[in-house]
Structure 1
Amino acid sequence: MNLTVRIKNPVFWVQIIVGAFATALAYAGLTAADITTWGGLVDVIIGTVKNPYCLFLIASNIWNALNDPTTSGLKDSTDAKTYEAPKKG
């Protein structure tokens, strides 16, 4: 797997962050509009990190961001392994 290229791709990070944030909010029974203070956000993050089920859901989000559904298993195609940066359109 070409992790170096995935790490350079902003879409990868958006998938990870949005997936983790959505998991944390759902667990807390909140919406993004309910987070009105930094302290409230920190409390939600701490509650999520302490919950094994939430960590499992975040790991699932990471798996989905890493996995290329066009190849079998958890690997990239031969072409993708040669990329040094994300492929342009």
Structure 2
Amino acid sequence: MKVNIPVRMKNPWFWVGVVSVAITAIGVDPMTFTSWAAVLDGIKAVLSNPVQLCTMALAILSVFIDPTTAGVGDSKTALGYDRPNKEK
């Protein structure tokens, strides 16, 4: 299983997917986070809850999976990419 993680991390839409999936998996109401202290409390709550932690990990894994290949790994073509495709 090989995944071209550096290319994905350079793509801003990858981060949109990771953050939105994590927030959804945790079951967070955005109105809960009204201060940095509340954000820290929310992170601590997820880390102390095995079900939420596993759900979040599985949801983030789904962002990494390339639906055009079998399994979890990238295709040989995708592994050869140096950077995300940009429209010209």
How many matched pairs?
85
User: RMSD of aligned C-alpha atoms?
Assistant: 1.6
What is residue 14 of structure 2 aligned with on the other side?
12
* Equivalent of 1:79 in 77, 80, 83: 77
TM-score for both structures, normalised by structure 2 = 0.82
TM-score for both structures, normalised by structure 1 = 0.82
- Which runs of no fewer than 5 residues in structure 1 stay unpaired? none
Q: What percentage of aligned pairs have identical amino acids?
A: 35
Matching residue's letter, 1:17: V
Displacement, 1:4?
1.5
Displacement, 1:34?
2.8
Q: Deviations over 1:27-65 (max 9, x none)?
A: xxx521232122112111100011111111111122111
- Which runs of no fewer than 5 residues in structure 2 stay unpaired? none
